Amino acid sequence: MPAPFPSPLVLVISAPSGGGKTTVCDRLLAAVPGLSRAITCTTRPPREGERDGVDYHFLSSDAFAKLAAAGDFLESADVYGHRYGTLRREVDHRLDRGQDVLLNIDVQGAASVRRAAAADARLARALVTVFLAPPSLEVLAGRLRARGKDSETAIQHRLAAARAEIARWREFDFLVISTTVTEDLRRMQLLYEAEKMRTGRVIPPFSEDGSASA
């Protein structure tokens, strides 16, 4: 009997800055062999240990602008003084091979992907969006301060942006309230597995009348 063959997913995970989405995405990629990450382009300089073409595609402002003008980005946004974007080909070539794609992007980027999906039937069929929200702004503030990367002024700026992003949670298919890394990962895996079994994605090993396929 042939095994069901689910059509690929484009899984978008968004969260406010400091919300834990990068950690959850990294854990999810490690836990799910069939999931691959679309590598984001950015104009910000590499941080210690980051590798071009692995963590990000690090581009000059001019190179980024040329790609944007050519319509090569599925989504792009200005975030805290730098530009970020996902190339269409990063997603398309994975879908062409039947691979599931993970996008770790902000709320602006998720909105851009939804707009693109409105004009792209394959993307619309594949798209699943999840918003990872902190249990409170106080908890988020504590996480941002614990990172030790930003001044208090910058933290207040990020918290103001987080309020606006959290207010848009209804735009997403799923809302996950962050608790622990382990629990966040467990919930993301459950969502992923459930979406892979959605009837619109699976080719069943039987015909419409329920009889076994040849």
Give tens-digit pLDDT for 30-50.
999 989 999 999 999 998 899
Supply φ then ψ for residue 78, to 5 degrees: -95, 125
| Helix ranges (DSSP H) in 79-151 | 88-96, 107-117, 121-126, 137-147
Q: How many CA atoms lie within 13 A of 174 on its CB side?
A: 21
Mean pLDDT is lowest, of 22-26, 75-79, 154-158, 200-204, for 200-204
Give me the pLDDT at residue 212, please: 59
Contacts of the segment 19-22: beta carbons below 8 A, 24+ positions apart = 19/132, 19/133, 19/134, 19/140, 19/143, 19/162, 19/178, 20/132, 20/134, 20/143, 20/178, 20/181, 20/184, 21/104, 21/132, 22/104
User: Taking residues 106-129, what's their average pLDDT?
Assistant: 94
User: Residue 69 pLDDT more than 60?
Assistant: yes
pLDDT band of residue 3 (cuts 50, 70, 90) is very low
Instruction: State both tokens at 133.
Output: 């929200």
Instruction: State both tokens at 69.
Output: 């003008």
What mean pLDDT value characterizes the chain? 90
Residue with tokens 């396929």: 213
User: Residue 115 pLDDT more than 80?
Assistant: yes
Name the amino acid, one letter, at 68: A
**For the chain, which residues make up each domain, given as ranges?**
10-38+91-196
User: Taking residues 70-84, what's their average pLDDT?
Assistant: 90
Instruction: State both tokens at 112.
Output: 């851009």
pLDDT band of residue 102 (cuts 50, 70, 90) is very high
User: Residue 59 pLDDT more than 50?
Assistant: yes
Helix (H) or strand (E) segment spanning residue 74? strand 73-79
Share of the chain above pLDDT 90, in %: 72
Rounded Cα distance, 203 and 5, in Å? 5
What fold does the segment set 10-38+91-196 form as a domain? Rossmann fold (3.40.50)
User: Residue 204 pLDDT more than 80?
Assistant: no
Give me the pLDDT at residue 2, please: 42
